[in-house]
């Protein structure tokens, strides 16, 4: 079975105070390709950019992430990168993209990556979306409250992953040919719209007493 490599190498160390003294924090988990950065479309479905030069964020993503962070949400990226496990992409290129992503969106607290090729359907890797492992690992390490958290993504795997982790989900609908399996809480047309919906929830306005 292909073993899933964890994304720890690109994650900064977690300070003991990260969980905070006021209890567990909520998070916004974010898919990467097609959610934060523009996908490359092939046969009506989205795929990852091939190199750092192709890695471009959708307009408004850094500002929307800053608002979510300022409202009190931990920002965690959760991304399947099966091309590494399949031998058609190098892990170094993926890590370079994530260095770039951290430069563009410094509020991102953690990037969880699953490199599993995803070929063993009988024994799926517990960290490969739609399995919830990446979200559960981040929640454990960062002290996150999943019941108050969200997952934003553009494919059925993101929505199923969020539901299996017990978070609420926002689906960005680009009209891809694939169908959803589970129903999300909200369907939107962009990441910035997803962020607006989360920030408009009454609970979000109570999160950060300083704001
Ligand atoms: Mg995606």
The answer to whether position 24 is within a domain reads yes
At residue 177 the predicted structure's pLDDT band, cuts being 50, 70 and 90, is confident
With a cut of 80, say whether residue 156 has pLDDT above it.
yes
The rounded Å distance from CA 31 to ligand 1 centre is 6
pTM value is: 0.87
- Supply the range of the domain harboring residue 63: 8-205
Q: How many domains does the chain have?
A: 1
The rounded Å distance from CA 153 to ligand 1 centre is 6
Exposure string for 104-135, b = 16+ CB within 10 A, e = fewer: bbeebbbbbbbbbbbeeeeebbebbbbbbbbb
Catalytic residue ranges? 31, 33
The CATH number given to whatever domain includes residue 141 is 3.40.50.1000
The answer to whether position 121 is within a domain reads yes
The answer to whether position 161 is within a domain reads yes
The answer to whether position 211 is within a domain reads no
The answer to whether position 103 is within a domain reads yes
The rounded Å distance from CA 93 to ligand 1 centre is 18
The answer to whether position 166 is within a domain reads yes
The rounded Å distance from CA 162 to ligand 1 centre is 13
């Amino acid at each position: 079975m292909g073993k899933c490599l964890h994304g720890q190498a690109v994650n900064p160390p977690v300070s003991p105070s990260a969980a905070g003294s006021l209890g567990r924090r909520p998070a916004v988990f974010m898919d990467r390709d097609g959610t934060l950065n523009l996908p490359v479309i092939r046969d009506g479905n989205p795929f990852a950019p091939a190199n750092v030069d192709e890695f471009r964020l959708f307009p408004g993503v850094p500002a929307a992430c800053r608002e979510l962070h300022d409202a009190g949400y931990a920002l965690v990226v959760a991304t399947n990168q099966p091309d590494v496990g399949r031998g058609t992409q190098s892990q170094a290129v993926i890590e370079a993209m994530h260095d770039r992503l951290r430069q563009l969106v410094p509020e991102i607290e953690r990037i969880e990556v699953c490199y599993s090729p995803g070929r063993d359907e009988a024994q799926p890797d517990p960290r490969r979306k739609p399995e919830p492992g990446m979200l559960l690992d981040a929640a454990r390490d960062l002290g996150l409250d999943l019941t108050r958290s969200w997952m934003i993504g553009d494919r059925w795997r993101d929505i199923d992953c969020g539901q299996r982790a017990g978070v609420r989900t926002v689906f960005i609908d680009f009209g891809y040919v694939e169908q959803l399996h589970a129903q999300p809480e909200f369907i939107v047309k962009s990441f910035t719209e997803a962020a607006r919906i989360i920030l408009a929830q009454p609970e979000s306005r109570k999160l950060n007493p300083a704001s």
